[in-house]
Amino acid sequence: MGKSMTPSSTPDSSPRRRPMARVRHIALFSREIREQLSLAGAELLLDLATRLTEGQLSGDGHYFGSMMLTIDLEQAHGQGLLREEPDTATALRLARLMSGSAVVQRRVRELARHAAERQARCPLTRVELDVRMRAEGLLVFVDVDAEARASARPHQTIANQQSS
């Protein structure tokens, strides 16, 4: 017994290390969390939006106009329609998600086309719409510029509607 053991050299005092685990299975798919717009929420906000439409039909049958939707998130929250309390980051996120949503884009284009035909007082053809979305504070703005051709004269359309 001529050797003395110090506490640091005793077999019981050193931490035991487990051997590294051997990988037997690998994942074929990675998971990703995506944020997307609630379609019911988007439809509700589009219905709640304040609409401003302007435009006119020229003598040669060209229509030029615009529509602006203003979505007030503070108003929507005050009416108890939103679960989350909105802030400027929410408005920016909403504008970004609305811009990237094919469903929202289609709905906005539908609203703009109907607004343009109401302004022109006749059906329109070759309708070209330029849609932009942005946020400022708690407001989300949807701006749509429209160019089109009249498919009938305005007074013919009005006469047809009156005789129906």
Q: What does the block give as tokens for 115?
A: 């607004």
pLDDT digits (tens, 9 = 90+) for 47-60: 999 999 999 999 99
Q: What pLDDT score was predicted for residue 156?
A: 43
Under a CB-based contact definition with an 8 Å cutoff, are residues 90 and 98 in contact?
no
* Residue-range domain boundaries for the chain: 38-163
Residue-wise pLDDT for 12-34, tens only, equals 566 788 877 777 777 788 888 88
Q: Is the pTM of this model over 0.85?
A: no
- Residue 158's pLDDT is what? 40
Alpha carbon distance 133, 143 (integer Å) = 6
Return mean pLDDT, the chain.
86
